[in-house]
Structure 1
Amino acid sequence: MKRLSVLLLLPMMATAGELEQGQAIAAEFKGELMQTLKSAIAEGGPVNGISVCNSAAGPLADAVAQRHGVSLGRVGTRTRSPANEPQPWQAELVAAVEKDPRPQMLEIDGHQLYAEPLFIQEPCLACHGEPKDDVKAALNKYYPNDKATGYALGDLRGVLWVKLGNQVQ
């Protein structure tokens, strides 16, 4: 018989320091990723950006997380790859942010978690909106089961999360 574990996902009373810590770490990651993507797109257009995003986003997240002693990641409202399907706690995280789309602290499995909504911005539309044929071909190469298109400017694309090191008592 399979056991079903229930995850606890509750808004928590965070200190200003915890919220600021999460925001700072998230901003560092977003800044590094956007700089990398902008350079790639400037060199070879959106098709080059797809290649770089595919290979660089994970290592960038890992490097920032390691520097700060946290876990860090992104989860989408729609996935590019079956390997990126949200874990149950991540699906609940997305649902919580959809209900209250602002940066916030949550508690999950006894951990403090900073959650920041990621909204579609103008540059995102080349790959996440209605992509042109060359971009579609590149997306199909890297993500044959891509579901992360069809967004409009301002849509919620996903959540950037930072799991802080301290457990809630």
Structure 2
Amino acid sequence: MKRLAALLLLPMMATAGELEQGKAIAAEFKGELMQTLKSAIAEGGPVNGISVCNSAAGPLADTLAQRHGVKLGRIGTRTRSPANAPQPWQEQLLAAVEQEPQPQLLTIDGHQLYAEPLFIQKPCLACHGEPKAEVKAALDLHYPNDQATGYALGDLRGVLWVELGKQKAQ
């Protein structure tokens, strides 16, 4: 099985334009989500940030994906919700980024993907580090099976991916 997975995960023969497209879409998503989260936290602390992140991240990814004609998502090294557990192709993507934690273009099962590692930054620690009691209670409310805590500053938290399209047959 490991041999099969290695055959499906290949460095993508991409143009500089595809790399820049992936980077730009990822930057737009991260910028808008961080702005939304910072505003929510400023208004009501990390507990409010959890509620907003829970309700805003998915629709934001959907809006940007539609705007740019791509698919867009995030996967974590630890899941907040079983519904967000990585699919097999996402596990391959995560393994590739864990091995080489830098922005990269890959092809998995014929899909061209831009992948960007997400590292824990200081603001992330309130919810992804060792959360205080009120934050833990809010996490338990929104994510009863949460496993996405215990991170330290600089840890790899997950991957932001942009599917740029299907690789053309050669």
Q: Give the Å deviation of 1:54.
A: 0.3
State TM-score, norm by structure 2.
0.94
Render the CA deviation track for 1:17-38: whole Å, top value 9, x for unaligned: 1100000000001111001000
> Does residue 45 in structure 1 map to residue 45 in structure 2?
yes
Contact in 1 for aligned 2:113/2:165 (Cα 8 Å): no
The residue number in structure 1 matching 2:23 is: 23
Superposition pairs of residues 6-155 of structure 1, within 5 angstroms: 8-155=8-155
Give the distance between the partners of 1:14 and 1:98, measured in 2 at CA.
21
Counterpart secondary structure, 1:13: coil
Number of aligned residue pairs: give it: 166
AA of the residue aligned to 1:127: C
Give the distance between the partners of 2:93 and 2:6, measured in 1 at CA.
13
Counterpart secondary structure, 1:79: coil
- CA-atom RMSD in angstroms: 1.5
AA of the residue aligned to 1:139: L
Extract unaligned runs of 5+ from structure 2. Answer: none
State TM-score, norm by structure 1.
0.95
Give the distance between the partners of 2:7 and 2:82, measured in 1 at CA.
22
Contact in 2 for aligned 1:120/1:154 (Cα 8 Å): yes
Give the distance between the partners of 1:89 and 1:137, measured in 2 at CA.
33
Percentage of identical aligned residues: 84
Contact in 2 for aligned 1:89/1:108 (Cα 8 Å): yes
Contact in 2 for aligned 1:7/1:89 (Cα 8 Å): no
Counterpart secondary structure, 1:54: helix
Give the distance between the partners of 1:119 and 1:128, measured in 2 at CA.
11
